[in-house]
Amino acid sequence: MKLNTLQESNINKSRMSRTLIYIVLFVFAIYYLLPLYVMMINSFKHLDDIRSGGMLNLPSIWTIDPWKSAWSTAQIGIDPSGLKPYLWNSISMVVPAVLISTILGSLNGYVLTKWQFRGHGVVFGLLLLACFIPFQVVLIPMAKILGLLGLAGTTQGLILVHVVYGLGFTTLFFRNYYAAFPTEIVKAAQIDGAGFFRIFWRVLLPSSGPIIVVTVIWQFTNIWNDFLFGASFADFDSIPMTIALNNLVNSSTGVKEYNVHFAGAILAALPTLIVYIVSGRYFVRGLMAGAVKG
C-alpha cells in the first residue's frame, strides 16, 4: 500500500517535471521566434497600419508593396535602387571567397596532419591565433596592403580580405578532421607511388564530405554577414548587402518606412537562413564530429 502511493507520487512528479521542461522550452522558442515573427508580419502591413500600433497583430490589409520597394525602388544612399544590385555584389564576393578559403583550408589541414614538417605546431598555433585577431586591428594595415596591390575598393580586394581572415578557421576545421583520418592509408598510397595531390584528391577528399559542409556553411554565413570589412573597404560599386541594409534603415529622410525596413532585413538575411534550414542538420552534426572538439 505504502509502496504503491510512493510509486504513484513518483510518476506524478516525473510527469510534472516533464511538463515543466516542455513549458520552459516552449517559452524560449517564443523568445527566439518573436523578432522574426514581428519582422515577417510587419513587412506585409501598410505604413498606417504599423503606426496605429499593435506590432503583434496580423495586418488588417495584406500588401507586398514593401517587399517590392525594398527589392527595387527604396532609397539607399543616394540611389533609389533597392537592394537588388547589392545582392549581386554580395554573391560575387561570397562565392569565390568561400571556395578559395575552403580549398586552401583543406590543403593546409592535409599538410599539417599528413605531411608534417618541422615547426608544424608553431604554424598551426599562429593560424589559430589569427582566428581571434579582432577585425578592427587589421583594418589599417589591410587598407594599406589593398592600396599597394591596387585592389582598394574592389570586389577582388574584399575577396582577398575574407580569404585571408577565413583561412584560420577553415584550416582549424580541416586539421581537426584530418587528424582523425588514419595515416596508414596515406602511407600505403605513398608506397603505391601516389603523389601529394593524387593522395589528397583520391584518398582524403572523397571522405571529407561532412567537414566540407561545416566549413562552407560557416564561411558562407560569416562572409555574407560581415559588416566591418564591407563598410571599410567597399567602394561605391562593390557594397555588399549588409551595408546596403544599414544604409536603407538609416538613410530614409523624413518618413521612416518601417515596413520596407522589415522586408529589407528579411531579404538580406534570406540566403543565410536558407542555407541554415537546408543544411542545419549537417552543421550541428559536423560541430559534434570535431569542429568544436575541446
Q: Which residues would be at the binding site for other proteins (CB under 8 A)?
A: 18, 21-22, 24-25, 28-29, 31-36, 38-39, 42, 50-51, 53-56, 121, 124-125, 128-129, 132-137, 139-140, 221, 224-228, 232, 242, 245-246, 249, 258, 261-262, 265, 268-269, 272-273, 275-277, 280, 284, 287-288, 292-294
Distance CA 25, CA 23 (A): 5
Smallest separation (angstroms) from other proteins to the CB of 198: 29
C-alpha cell at 156: 577582388
Shortest Cβ distance from residue 54 to other proteins (Å)?
A: 6
Give the shortest CB-15-to-other proteins separation in angstroms.
13
Do 167 and 130 form a contact (C-beta atoms < 8 A)? Answer: yes
Q: Smallest gap, in angstroms, from Cβ of residue 96 to other proteins? A: 20
Q: Which of 294, 106, 123, 117 is nearest to 215 (CA)?
A: 106
Q: How far is the CB of 221 from other proteins (least distance, A)?
A: 6
Place of cell 566540407: 212
Which amino acid, 60? Answer: S
Residue 255 identity (one-letter amino acid)? V
Task: Please give the Cα distance from 205 to 139 (Å, whole number).
Answer: 35
For other proteins, give the closer residue by CB, 198 or 285.
285
Neighbouring CB atoms inside 10 A of 153's CB total: 16
Q: By C-beta, is 107 or 128 nearer to other proteins? A: 128
33/103 with CB nearer other proteins: 33
3-class secondary structure, 28: helix
User: Which residue, 142 or 163, has its beta carbon nearer to other proteins?
Assistant: 142
Select 143 or 194, whichever has its Cβ closest to other proteins: 143
The residue among 217, 208, 257 whose CA lies nearest residue 67 is: 257
